[in-house]
Every structure is written in structure tokens, then in C-alpha cells.
Amino acid sequence: MSAYQKPKIGVYVCHCGMNIAPKVDVEAVVRFAGNLEHVATAREYKFMCSNPGQELIVDDIRQGKVDRVVVASCSPRMHEPTFRKACENAGLNPYYFQMTNIREHSSWVTLDSGEATSKAKDLVAGAAARVAFHAPLSTRSVPVKKAVLVIGAGIAGMQAALTAAEAGFQVHLVEREPSIGGHMAKFDKTFPTLDCAACISTPKTVSIGQHPHISLHTYAEVRQVEGFVGNYTVTVSQKPRYVLGDKCTGCGLCADACPVGLVNDFDQGLSERKAIYRAFPQAVPLTYCIDKKDSAPCTRTCPAGVNVQGYVQLIGKGRYEKAVRLIMEKIPLPGVLGRVCPHPCESACRRREVDEALSIRDLKRFAADHIDWASLPLPRIEERSHKVAIIGSGPAGLTVAYDLRLRGYQVTVFEKLPVLGGMLRIGIPDYRLPRRILDREIDYLLRLGIVAKTEQAMGRDFTLQGLAEEGYAAVFMAIGAHGGLKLNIPGEAETTGVIDAIAFLKAVNLGRTEKPGEQVVVIGGGNVAVDAAGVARRLGARKVTILYRRSRQEMPAYEEEVEGALEEGIQLSCLTFPLRILSENGRLVGIECLRTALGPMDESGRRRPVPVVGSEFIIPCDAVIPAIGQRTDAPWAAQEADLVWGARQTLAVAAESMQTSMPHVFAGGDVVSGPATVIEAIAAGHRAAEAMHRYLQGETVVADLPKKQAVSVPGQVDGRRSNEDDLVPIPTATVSKPRAVSPHLPADERISSFDEISCGLSEEAAGNEANRCLNCGGCCECTECVDVCEVKAIDHNMPERSFQLEVGALILATGFKAFDPTPLTNYGYGRLPEVYTSLEFERLNNATGPTAGKILMKTGHPPKRVAIVHCIGSRDSRYRKYCSRVCCMYSMKFAHLVREKTGAEVWEYYIDIRAPGKLYEEFYNRVQEEGVHFIRGKVAEITDIPDNPEDRGRLTVVAENTLTRRTSRVPVDMVILSVGLEPADGSADVGKITGVSRDGDGWFNELHAKLAPVSTPVNGIFLAGCCQGPKDIPDTVAQSMAAAGEAVALLSKGTVKTRAEISYIDPDLCSGCRTCMAVCAYSAIRFDEALNVAKVNEVLCQGCGSCAAACPSSAAGVRHFTDRQVMEEIEAILR
Amino acid sequence: MKYGFYPGCSFKSAAGYQLSVAALTRAVGIEFVEIPDWNCCGATVFFSLDDIKAVALAGRVFALAAAGGFREIVTGCNACYATLRKSAELLAKKPDYLSALNRGLALEQLHLAEPLPVRHILQVLVDDLPHSAWASQTKRGFESVPVAGYYGCQLTRPFGDADDPEQPGILERFIKRLGFQPVAHSAKTLCCGASHGVPYGDECSPLIARIVRGAHEKGARLIATVCPLCQFNLDQGQQRASGLPKLPVLFFTQLAGLALGLPPEELGLDQLLISAQGVLRQR
């Protein structure tokens, strides 16, 4: 107040008909009010909000009786604007008005009349005390952005968008699915008129796609909404569909070519679709979409990062050469790995959750063995001049050679032995890895232009210094671990007949054919030991025994190899420890051993063997082959003093780059890791090749190198585990099928030759095996679609996109989801094949559905007896208490369609029939007349155990018929569960983002149940369709038009008034600490650097008061909620 | 691991149940210690007449177990399981029941502070033992033997919390873990007639036929039960009736013993009325 002037307050107490008056003694309140300080007049009226009621106030103001107004009535939510308007009309500033709620806060919630009256008096006293200190406030007009955002493009969103667009406003329609139409696009007919859903909704989807004022954003979600009524900024993120909308013609060749079959969600899982798909032929937009999830666990697990899912799918399609090329993006030796890889991918295979892992390794071998290597085309290589030397031609060396050659480097491989392949050649017996396989794959590498120099030993034939002088700019050391470890037991050194396993295998692989002895003892439990034993047996040793100091469970050798050895008659002596070699005249005659027992765990996690005292025994033999480990043999080490060695005779390298102490020398494989697997050597090779490439290009060697994997697909380079939530769910209907097993030669044939044991999969077996793949990653990135797309519309590297929209109003139309009846186990959904949900049945009925609109059981026959069970999940205190409103009607629609299409007998199990709507009751009558049975009773159980033998294969529906008061047991062929409606997934997020609250069931709250059904408490945001509560199509369309009407009405005004109840900051008190800026959710406070004070932007401020609460110097406050006003009100109430 | 064990009145006389439980617990290294001086649980009879007396019977068992230092009670009978759990629920909910019980228990110098948790042997075997207790033993060629799990009516409802009341799966998971082939069927929790099986055999016949046919139709060649009365009713019920397929009805503990390679005579398989030999030999 300016100069102190005594306020003249008018208090107006409302009876609200019978809502306030009988409980609150209105007359007493008026008498009480009349005696309050500054109150000039106090009146009562039956309905203050009515015209005559408002007139009382207006007249008093106009006559100068009052200049402050208090109305004691209902909640200000509804009528505060009414009375402010009345004040304004009478010429009073509308903020000289205060409303107090004596209905919700008093009469409705107080049992005792005296107490209610007393409380009403207190509330009136508070309001009167407060209004005396009110100040006149004003609002400002700001222009609105003439565009509408509609979230959700089901029938509600489409209709709202079309109505607003027809009014001439720009509409942005955001839909999270790849195409629009929502649930209605899945339906066949609509009740009660039985219009075809497609016939009435496709014109709308088409108009949406073509309307000049509608921008459609599919596969997109709203992430953020900022601003205020008339001026919202909306952030939208759009998932990549990997197909360019402006190029795709919708021809469908890509889907024909795609090998990946996934569950078709649009058909509710009743059919399959491809990973590149379109929901249905008439979809808008018609652009295809690729369903990509996280990389499959097999791909993620592969140390070399091979796209496993991709090549498995290509094999399934018979595209063997492309499969091999895909494998060779990551490994140079597919046929080799197809035989000797320890296949960590198979351990990660999710098929294990159904039955067994895929035979991935066998599939890889199959592909490599079914192409013509001689004619395998060479990739185009862009030559570079740098020379690179690779020392050692094992898997690590060949990988680096391959990777760098593909990048155009001039690669020379130096090999000590006369043959290429390293340990692959001399360490692995022919019967596991035939040399022709190795030859054909190395030949291919040589065809790429890799130069190989054999019988070139480091230190003897060349040095690092010499290589540098010859112009080799970088060197990769992959000399492996070829030295066998000694047993260090008496007799080992001096006895002939002791030969270490690696030396033995090498000799045999290089041509040795004589057997090591008649009775051979191999010492060790690893794969090398088993290989040495197998080779000795094939060379004709009569008796071969493997000694191992722990038990069979602890053997590091692969179980299948041990199994194979036993089949070949090789003996296994576990828990046996060699003590000394026995000889007579320098000739080996036996080995003395000791029994062991397993003690506590050692640091490797295996149980430590403990000798059993006094258990010595002798195994007679004439050859002993120790196979207890290898190390690197580097007789030249002293010559190359600059090369630093690490523990256990391995080369020291930087973990990520594989760079040694000499900057141009890199190393990998067994020489770095110690004896390890082929695939690990290849993985190390990839890391080294990448680092060498960077080194040669003068870049930083270590920055951003792939850690464990090197995957070329975007977003997959971090080597992490697959995100389980972002993989294709394992279909519940997956049928268990045995894993393909590659047949083995019989054991007796095996030991007579070096022929390969494993015969490989047949073409049929490989195809079936590939089809067992669950396609965890969705799209397998085989790029078959790219090959067939004539208009080049496919872009597998499309990124997610984020953009902002400026709109004046929002319409939420996020719809519903159907209740999942799985928890109602007594109805057998998911277990009994002929139990369907209503949405599944809609698809079964639809011309574009899995049966082309024929109502068929999974057997392919039409049903003769059908039961429809109402109220599944609705009107059920365990799930949803509310009635879903549409189920009775659509259930009867189903009954009619079943009768019409199949002539089957139909039973409807209902609680009550709810048919309140135009022509609805008539439809109910019609369906009854069509001979449908109506049984009033909740179904207790649906079982596949028949009451009578003739009903075998049928389902029995058990219910109490509450009209006949008898148990009813009806055998039927098919059951439809009429599931209720629930808020759509993600509606909680939409609520949070937009600030629109939800009710206890999760539906969005309308502003007023009767009078503002499409408005929300958030100004400028409106509701359409089922997101506000279950409703049928006619109601949805009506509501959508209403919501669009509200939005258009708002935008048509051109301006909106800003709030008057906003923050202010007193510049005299502000210390410039900027605390308020940090707490402001609307970015409405800016800082005036010149004056060193914070200032409120009156357009952006929403009056939330956060700044006022946070301000340490009490400079910030909120108009209409000043400390004085609030304290006066409280004091008066407590007085 | 030691458990307080409540055998109930039919455990010792049930065909091979006691034998197989003894052999199995020895083999896997757990111990079921009989609660000393246990009494009848009251079955369903007392609850129909007098809650307090019914609760007193079970309550004394709880007090004895608590006095014996046990923290929970394990039983192998569905009726005992349900009765004990119902009593536990009432004692926890109604303080006057507990005080009435303790007045009676005082005569024996016993006291019950709160009822103990009650579990079924099946839950102990499935939940407390690692997968590996069975996994290393499961290559016995039983994968080709289809087994229907039969839970009876009281393990999962109304007082059980072992699994879904209508479509439980814990027994099937155990059967699979043992290396047998579990069969999905719809008769898992149907009533076997319970104690009416003896005096009203003819009336119970259709109930038993439903269960056996339900399992047989889905390919089962064996039925595995978790309750002495279920086992008895199904085993002898099939003998009485004509036209039934005659599926051997084993306790799940007998199945587990077979999976571990224990000799059939130690598991009491010879006590079954319908011999399982034929089915097991065919594998």
C-alpha cells in the first residue's frame, strides 16, 4: 500500500448449495467476519460463483463500499479466475482479491458442525488479514509460438494433429514407433458399427504423411520440455532407422535379402519379421527400418572382434563366400580358427538359456571349407611405400602382416623354419589341423602381396639394426614360444628317449615318421601333452600314458581332446608325479612316480597336488615326452641389448600398443603373453597393427587404441559386455533343438593315420545350426540389404539425431498398453497355445495379420468352439481396479466376427455387460440374437486336461455360472482373454518431462474431471485419448478434436498473459552471490555484471519461489506471497 | 549343514521316502536332525474345530525346535508344511494365541518367542545346495526319461510361498538339474483326494485318473511327488483303477538319489507298488 489508507474489505461467504451451508454455520461466519478489522461488509449467498453472486461483489466495489475482496467458498483451482475477473470488471485490481476454501478444507472434511464453523472462521480471518496487505499486480502479454507438438501418433494423436493443422497451425507429430497408427492400425473391425479399422484410419495416416502443416517425426521421443505456455522449447531425439527416408521406395528387396528373422511385435508375436522391416504394407512412412540392438554376446566376447552373428546368418543363407569375407575382416585364417579356436563365443551364446550353445567354431570351419580359395577375390589395396618387417609367421605375425598389407604397407615376413605358420604348422598335429588348410589360407595371404622369406633366423641371418638399414620402418616381433621346459628330475638329461613335446611335434610335422618308442609316457595335462600322446599313438606306439599331477577335472586340456585321446586307447594316469627317469645302460626303461592327493587351492585357483608318502611306483616305458610348458627361445638376446625383456622370458611391451622398448619395434603373441591361444595372438596382432599404422603415420601411438577388441561397427569399440537390456529377448516359444555336432572318425581309424578327426558339418547340418541362432543383436550387420538396395538407401552408420522444436502448445496422446495376462497362471496364457489376448486375436482377424484375416488355430484349422473371457486384469483388486470400458464391446465384436467367419459356437464369460453408448446396447442385443452364449461368472481355470476323452486336445473353461448357480465346464478350441488397458510404457517419463501429473493408476490427470477434461494443470498442455483414461475410438476422436480446439484457441489469441505472481530481486539487498541462478529451474534469472546484481526475467519466471527460499540475503521474494502477507495470514488463523 | 527336521506321521511309512532322504543327505553332506519328542501337526482336522488347540499342536513343535537350537523347521510332507505354516501365520498375527500357547507350554518348561520359518525338503535341496552338487553327476542318460512333477495342493497354497500357486516350476527345475527331462503339464497342483484316498477310494479315482492322464498325455513316463499322501494315492490309485497307463510314482528324493548314482535298494525303489525298473532300464 502506498500512503496508508485504511482498506475496506468485503467478505463474501458461499453456501455452495448444500455443500458448505448445512455443516458450516454460514450466518455465524458472516457475523464473525463483520467484526474483523478493516472489514467493511460481510455477506452470504447460496452460490457466490453464480451471476447474482458475482453481482453482489461488483455492486459493492462500484458503490465504493469495498476495495478488497475475500470470498470464502470452494477451491481456488476452479473459481479464483471467476472472482478475479469479477473484481477486474468492477474496476478493482484482481490481486486485491483473496479466496479461502471452506468446502474442501472445512465442510467436506469435518464431522462436527461446530468445529467446521470454527475452522471456517479462522480461514476467513486469515484471508482478511492477508488481503489487507495485498498489492496491485499486473501481467504482461507475450506472443505465442504458432505451432503445436503432439506426442503419440495413434488415432488420438493423428486426429489432434489433423484438426490443429486444418486450423492453419504448424504441427509436429512425434511417434516413438517407426510408423504411425497406434493400436487402431492393428485392429480389423470397430464396434458397434463394424467399420473396417483400416478403411477409417488409413485416410488419416495418409493425410498425416501429406499434410503441408504437419511435420512427422517417427522413431523419435521427446526428451525435454522447457519454457511456459505459448513458448515451449522441446528437445526430441530420433533413433536411427538406418534407411534414408528420401531414398527408400519401400520396395522390400532388403527384407527379402535379410537373413535375420525376429519376432513380429506388430503381430503380437504371432509371426516373424526381418531385422529390416516395415510394420505393415500400408505403413506411414513407408520407409523401412533396421532393428539394431547392442552387439551380440558372441561378437562382444570374440577376442578378435569377429562379427559372429553376421557370419552365422550368412552361412544360414548359403552365402559362404561373404561369410568368409566377413570373418576375414578380423582374422586372416578362418579355416584354421574354425578348427583350433577355443571358441569363447560359444560360452557367451545365449542359446544356452534354451538348450545348448551354437557350434560356432564348426560353422566357421564349414564356411571356410566351402569356398574356392583360389578364386577368392582380392580386395583393392592402396599402396604405401613404407616397408615393414614381421619376424615370425605364426598367427600373431600373419595377423599383423595381413592388417598392414591391407593398409598398403610393403610387408616382408621373416621365418626361421623352412615352412610358414609357426606353431600352427609345427605345434598342431595334422589330424587336428591339416596342412592343406593352413597352406590354402597362407597362400591367399601371399597373393595379397605379402613377401615371405623362410630359413631366416634372427641373430644368424639378420639383425634389427640390419633391418633398419634395409629401410624397414617398423618391425613386429612374433617369434612365439618354441622352447620346451625341462622336468628337472634325475635321469632326464642323460637318458636317450627323453624328448620334449614341442621338439617332438615339430620333428613329426617336418617329416619324422618313426615312433618314439613302444611304451610312451607323456608328462603334462595341457593340449600339447594330449597332442603329443595322440601323435605317438599314430606313429605306432603300443602303449601311451599321460601323467598328470592333479585330477582330470583340473586338466587344462580341452575336455573333448581328452575324451578323444581316451577313445584312441591313450591311458590317463592322474594324481601322478614323476620322480626320476630310470635307465639301463643309458637306455630308458621306465619312470618312477609318486601318487598325489589334492590339497588346498593354490594361487591359480586349482587344488595343489600333495605327494602321498610311500606311494612310489614304476611305469615301464622306453620314451618319455615332457609337455609341461614352453618359453621363448632367443639365443640372440645379448646381441639386441636395446630390447628390454619382462618376466618369464617374455618381451616387455606397452599393454595397449604392443610397443617394445625400441619405438619402431612392436611385439605380440606367445613371445609377449607366454603360451596362449591362437585367437589371443590374433587379437594382440590387431592391436599391434593399429599402433604400428599410427606410428608409421606419425600419429600418437597409444591414444584411443581399442582395448581388447577392434570392432569396426560404430558404437562397439569399447570391448564391454553386451547390454542385456538391449538385446533381442529370447522368444518364449523357442523350441529346444540339439546342437550340431561334427562327426568324428572312429577311434580305430584315427590311430592308423593322420587324417583329420573331425569331419565337419554337412551343408544341411550347418544350415540348421545357423538357424538356431537367436539373433541377439537384432540386425547382424551382414550388409546383405546394402547389396540389394538399388537406390542406395541404406546407411548402417546413421547416428542418433537430436533436435529442438519451438511450439506454443503440447498435446499428449501417448495412449495405452494392453494388460499382460501372464501372471494369471490359472488361465494358461503363454503355456496353452490356444489361449490368446484380445490384441493377438485382432491380428488373427486382420487381413494384414499372420493368417491373412482367417480365424485359425495354430493347427491351421478354424475353431469350432470359442470362449471369450472378460475383465482380464480389469476390475480385479490384484491388478487394476478400474473398468477398462472397451472390453465388453470388443469382446462382443469378437463374438460376432467368430460367428460370421467360422460359424463356431461362442461363450462370453462376463461379470457385467457394459454397453453404454450410442448403438452399443443394440449391438449387445444383436450378438445375443446371433446365438452367442453369455455366462455370468468369473473363470476359475482354463485347463488342457479334458473331462471326456472325446475332448482331447481341447481346452476346458471352468467357471461358476452365477445365474444358474452351477459349475460350468465348457470344452472349447480357443480362448480369448479380454485384457484391460494400462497406461503406455514410458508415460511416467512423459509426465516427468512435461510436468503433467498422473493419477494412482498412471493415467494423466485432467484439470477438472467434468469441466476441463482435456486441459491439464500445466498451462498449454492438453490431453487426447487413452493417456487420460481408457476410452473407445469415438470418445478418443472427440477428445482429440477437443484438445486440438483448446490448443488452437490458445494459439489463436496470439498472446498469452504472463503470471503476475513471479519473483523479484531487490537490487539494494542483492549481494551478487548468484545462488538464485543455480536453483532456478526455468533459467529465468540473469546476472547484471554492471550493477553486480541478479535480475529476474519476468517472462520466463514461473513464480516457483526457489530463489526466494535460497537467497541468503532475503533479496529475492515472490509477488503475492510476500513474507508479510503470509505471516499476517498465519497469525490471524492462530489468533 | 544341519536342519531341524519334522518327519510328520507318514514319513517313515511312505514308500522309500525315509530311506531315500537318508541316503541323499549322506551323499550331499547335509543333515536332517529329527526334532526330539515331536508330536502330530494336527493335520486338517483340528483347524476345522478349534484354532487354539490346532495351533497348540504345531506351537509345541516350534517350541521344541527352538529349544533344540534350530532356526527353522524342514518337513517333507505337504500337509505338515501347510499346517505348520498356517499355525506360524496365526501365532505371528494373534498375540492371544501365542500367550495361550505359552501358558500350556509352561507345563513342560517350554516357551515360544516367535514361530520358526518352515520349509520343505525340496526347497532345501534346490535353494541351499549349489548347482554343482548335482551338475557333475548328471550324465547318466536320464535326459531321455520324461518326468512329470506333481506338487499336490498344499505346497504352493494357501500358506506356501515356494512358488507360483497355480503353475509352480521349482520341481521342474530340480528335475532338470538332476538330468531328467521335465514334462510341462497341467495337473501339477490338482487334488489327489488327500486323506479321502483310503475311506473313499472310488470317489477319489477320477481325481487320480485326471492327474495321471494329464501327465501321461504330455509324454511323462514317471511322476515325481513331494508328499507322502500324494505318492500313496497316485501309486495305489493307479493299481485300483483300470485303464490307466500305470506311471511309476517316485519321491523327488528317490529321483535325486538315482541322479547321484546311488543304488536303487538304498533308495527304497523296491517299495513302490508300480515298479520304476522298466522305465529306468529303457533309458
How many Å lie between the alpha carbon of A315 and the closest alpha carbon of chain B?
Answer: 30
Number of CB atoms found within 10 A of residue A1066's CB: 13
Give the per-residue pLDDT at A705. 52
Residues A274 and A262 sit within 8 Å (Cβ to Cβ): yes
Residues A951 and A789 sit within 8 Å (Cβ to Cβ): no
How far apart CA A980 and CA A108 sit, in angstroms, is 34
Contact B104/A at CB under 8 A: no
pLDDT (tens digit, 9 = 90+) per residue, B107-160? 999 999 999 999 999 999 999 998 878 865 556 778 889 999 999 989 998 888
Binning pLDDT at 50, 70 and 90, where does residue A1098 land? confident
How many Å lie between the alpha carbon of B48 and the closest alpha carbon of chain A?
Answer: 25
How many Å lie between the alpha carbon of A570 and the closest alpha carbon of chain B?
Answer: 22
C-alpha cell at A833: 497355445
Best of B136, B137, B166 to mutate (most A CBs within 10 Å, chain A): B166
Binning pLDDT at 50, 70 and 90, where does residue A1081 land? confident
Residues A56 and A42 sit within 8 Å (Cβ to Cβ): no
Binning pLDDT at 50, 70 and 90, where does residue A716 land? very low
CB contact under 8 A, A945 and B167: no
Give the per-residue pLDDT at A603. 76
Nearest chain A residue to B164 by CA: give it.
A825
Chain B positions touching A826 (Cβ under 8 A) are 166-167
CB contact under 8 A, B186 and A825: no
Give the per-residue pLDDT at A140. 86
How far apart CA A711 and CA A720 sit, in angstroms, is 11
Percentage of residues in chain B having pLDDT higher than 90: 73
Say which DSSP state A920 is in: H
pTM recorded for the entire structure: 0.84
C-alpha cell at A725: 537390456
**Dihedral (Cα; B42, B47, B51, B54), 10-degree rounding:** 0
Residues A1043 and A1027 sit within 8 Å (Cβ to Cβ): no
Amino acid at A1105: G
Nearest chain B residue to A952 by CA: give it.
B217
Chain B positions touching A834 (Cβ under 8 A) are none
Chain B positions touching A958 (Cβ under 8 A) are none
Distance set, CA A554 to CA A210, A410, A606 (Å): 69, 46, 7
What integer is the mean pLDDT of B243-258?
94
pLDDT at A714 over 50: no
pLDDT (tens digit, 9 = 90+) per residue, A598-626? 888 777 777 788 889 889 999 999 999 99
Pick A825's closest partner by Cβ from B164, B210, B213: B164
Residues 6+ apart with CB under 8 A from A758: A339, A362, A742, A743, A744
Give the per-residue pLDDT at A493. 84
Give the per-residue pLDDT at A886. 97
Contact B164/A at CB under 8 A: yes
Chain A positions touching B186 (Cβ under 8 A) are 828, 832, 943-945
pLDDT at B52 over 60: yes
- Radius of gyration (Cα) for chain A, nearest Å? 41
Which residue from A396, A307, A154, A59 is spatially nearest to A1031, judged by alpha carbons?
A: A154
C-alpha cell at A641: 641389448
Nearest chain A residue to B216 by CA: give it.
A945
Give the per-residue pLDDT at A969. 97
Pick A943's closest partner by Cβ from B164, B184, B186: B186
Q: Is the dihedral of CA B61, B67, B68, B69 positive or negative?
A: positive
Pick B167's closest partner by Cβ from A825, A944, A952: A825
Distance set, CA A945 to CA A274, A950, A969, A1025 (Å): 37, 11, 11, 42
CB contact under 8 A, B186 and A828: yes
Chain B positions touching A551 (Cβ under 8 A) are none
Give the per-residue pLDDT at B137. 54
Give the per-residue pLDDT at A704. 52
Nearest chain B residue to A823 by CA: give it.
B164
Q: Where are the beta strands (DSSP E) in chain B?
A: 2-6, 31-34, 73-75, 118-120, 146-150, 181-182, 222-225, 249-251
Give the per-residue pLDDT at A723. 81
How far apart CA A528 and CA A526 sit, in angstroms, is 5
What integer is the mean pLDDT of B76-91?
94
Q: Is the dihedral of CA A425, A427, A430, A433 positive or negative?
A: negative
Q: Which residues of A touch B (CB under 8 A)?
A: 825-826, 828, 831-832, 941, 943-945, 952
Chain B positions touching A943 (Cβ under 8 A) are 186
Amino acid at A778: G
**A62-76, A629-643, B223-237 — which is least confidently predicted?**
A629-643
ipTM, two decimals, is: 0.87
Chain A positions touching B217 (Cβ under 8 A) are 945, 952
Chain A positions touching B167 (Cβ under 8 A) are 825-826, 828, 831
Q: Where are the beta strands (DSSP E) in A1013-1115?
A: 1021-1023, 1055-1057, 1063-1065, 1085-1088, 1093-1096
Give the per-residue pLDDT at B139. 60
How many Å lie between the alpha carbon of B182 and the closest alpha carbon of chain A?
Answer: 13
pLDDT (tens digit, 9 = 90+) per residue, A307-344? 999 999 999 999 999 999 999 999 999 999 999 998 99
Chain A positions touching B150 (Cβ under 8 A) are none
How far apart CA B205 and CA B197 sit, in angstroms, is 8
Q: Where are the beta strands (DSSP E) in A846-943?
A: 865-872, 905-910, 933-936, 939-943
CB contact under 8 A, A952 and B167: no
What integer is the mean pLDDT of B56-82?
95
pLDDT at A702 over 70: no
How far apart CA A542 and CA A540 sit, in angstroms, is 6
Pick A825's closest partner by Cβ from B166, B187, B217: B166
How far apart CA A826 and CA B190 sit, in angstroms, is 12
Chain A positions touching B164 (Cβ under 8 A) are 825
Q: Please, which residues bridge with residue A1 across strands?
A: none
pLDDT at A77 over 90: no
Contact B187/A at CB under 8 A: yes
How many Å lie between the alpha carbon of A828 and the closest alpha carbon of chain B?
Answer: 9
Best of B153, B157, B186, B213 to mutate (most A CBs within 10 Å, chain A): B186
pLDDT (tens digit, 9 = 90+) per residue, A263-308? 999 999 999 999 999 998 889 999 999 999 999 999 999 988 899 9
Amino acid at B160: G
What integer is the mean pLDDT of A98-116?
96
What are the phi and psi torsion angles at A206 (to 5°)? -65, -45
pLDDT at A425 over 50: yes
Binning pLDDT at 50, 70 and 90, where does residue B182 land? very high
CB contact under 8 A, A831 and B217: no
pLDDT at A701 over 90: no
Contact B90/A at CB under 8 A: no
Chain A positions touching B165 (Cβ under 8 A) are 825
pLDDT (tens digit, 9 = 90+) per residue, A661-686? 999 999 999 999 998 889 999 999 99
Which residue from A159, A292, A296, A294 is spatially nearest to A219, judged by alpha carbons?
A: A292
Binning pLDDT at 50, 70 and 90, where does residue A10 land? very high
Nearest chain B residue to A826 by CA: give it.
B166
Chain B positions touching A828 (Cβ under 8 A) are 167, 186
Give the per-residue pLDDT at B135. 66
pLDDT at A209 over 70: yes
pLDDT at A252 over 60: yes
Contact B210/A at CB under 8 A: yes
How many Å lie between the alpha carbon of A628 and the closest alpha carbon of chain B?
Answer: 27
pLDDT at A1128 over 90: yes
β-pairing verdict for A189-190 and A1093-1096 = unpaired
Q: How far out from the chain centre does Cα A413 lie? A: 45
CB contact under 8 A, A826 and B186: no
CB contact under 8 A, A831 and B214: no
CB contact under 8 A, A826 and B166: yes
Pick A944's closest partner by Cβ from B167, B186, B190: B186
Chain A positions touching B210 (Cβ under 8 A) are 945
Chain B positions touching A831 (Cβ under 8 A) are 167, 184
pLDDT at A909 over 50: yes
How many Å lie between the alpha carbon of B168 and the closest alpha carbon of chain A?
Answer: 9
Contact B217/A at CB under 8 A: yes
Instruction: State the average pLDDT for chain A.
Output: 93
CB contact under 8 A, B164 and A826: no
What integer is the mean pLDDT of A618-641?
91
pLDDT at A1127 over 60: yes
What integer is the mean pLDDT of A911-935?
96
What is the full DSSP assignment across A272-313?
A: EEESEE-SSTT-SS---EE-B-SPPHHHHH-TT---HHHHHH
CB contact under 8 A, B167 and A943: no
pLDDT (tens digit, 9 = 90+) per residue, A159-192? 999 999 999 999 999 999 999 999 999 999 999 9
pLDDT (tens digit, 9 = 90+) per residue, A485-532? 888 899 888 888 899 999 999 999 998 888 999 999 999 999 999 999
Binning pLDDT at 50, 70 and 90, where does residue A1 land? very low
CB contact under 8 A, B214 and A945: yes
Give the per-residue pLDDT at B78. 93
Burial state string for A132-165 with b = 16 or more CB within 10 A and e = fewer than 16: bbbeeeeeeebebbbbbbbbbbbbbbbbbbbbbb
pLDDT at A711 over 60: no
Nearest chain A residue to B206 by CA: give it.
A947
What integer is the mean pLDDT of A1105-1110?
93
